[in-house]
């Protein structure tokens, strides 16, 4: 009887250990070298060192360059007709992702900056391209986003001024695959621009992107 009892206890312990291992391995917090994005489940291998600028500074730049945020798509298109914003397209080193809550427009200074970043990235990465996941979000679109994205500001976003864009750091090129080298290159470019006082940056872990704002 004692042998059977010991055997039952041993089997129970083995079962509990196996169950614990399955639960532990399925938890995304316990995987990955740096972090695993909750949306894409992509493991990043480059350890980021970029310093975040306070979000209030991003919004302040929007007010400085534009004044009032764009309330609707109509006001954004009106600004385009006045030459204040430009339509953003795929270019050397830049791919515009499928946009769900924003429109492919930027303030002229931000658009020029994005083109510059794309060209520099293309050159230093030997032909790779960054993926832009968000551009200008009029207030009406910002309200929609705050319902689904924890990273989105419940107040006026710098995206609503057309001065900010998001660069994915877990997806590059047409195949949207992660690249350690591409991740390293884009961050180095952003750190340099940040040191030159030309941009503000926030690395958003939830959205796996660099939130970049042009600075003037």
pLDDT tens-digit map of 59-104: 999 999 999 999 999 999 999 999 999 999 999 999 999 998 899 9
**pLDDT greater than 60 at residue 24:** no
| Calpha distance 57→96 (Å, rounded) | 25
Structural contact between residues 96 and 89, judged by C-beta atoms closer than 8 angstroms = yes
Q: What is the mean pLDDT of residues 1-20?
A: 53
Q: What is the pLDDT of residue 13?
A: 57
pLDDT in tens, 140-183: 877 776 666 655 555 688 999 999 999 999 999 999 999 999 99
40 — pLDDT class (breaks 50, 70, 90)? low
| Calpha distance 136→69 (Å, rounded) | 10
Backbone angles phi, psi at 103, to 5 degrees: -115, 145
pLDDT in tens, 180-206: 999 999 999 999 999 999 999 999 999
């Amino acid at each position: 009887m004692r042998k059977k009892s010991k055997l039952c206890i041993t089997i129970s312990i083995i079962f509990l250990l196996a169950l614990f291992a399955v639960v532990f391995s399925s938890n995304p917090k316990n995987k990955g070298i740096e972090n695993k994005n909750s949306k894409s489940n992509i493991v990043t291998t480059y350890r980021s060192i970029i310093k975040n600028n306070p979000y209030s500074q991003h919004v302040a730049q929007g007010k400085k360059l534009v004044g009032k945020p764009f309330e609707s798509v109509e006001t954004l298109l009106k600004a385009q007709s006045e030459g204040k914003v430009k339509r953003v397209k795929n270019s050397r080193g830049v791919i515009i992702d499928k946009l769900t809550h924003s429109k492919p427009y930027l303030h002229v200074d931000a658009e020029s900056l994005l083109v510059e970043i794309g060209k520099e990235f293309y050159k230093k990465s030997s032909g790779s391209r960054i993926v832009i996941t968000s551009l200008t979000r009029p207030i009406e679109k910002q309200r929609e986003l705050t319902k689904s994205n924890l990273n989105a500001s419940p107040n006026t976003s710098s995206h609503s001024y057309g001065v900010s864009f998001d660069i994915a750091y877990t997806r590059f090129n047409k195949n949207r695959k992660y690249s350690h080298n591409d991740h390293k290159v884009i961050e180095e470019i952003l750190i340099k621009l940040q040191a030159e006082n030309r941009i503000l940056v926030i690395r958003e872990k939830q959205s796996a992107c660099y939130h970049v704002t042009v600075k003037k």
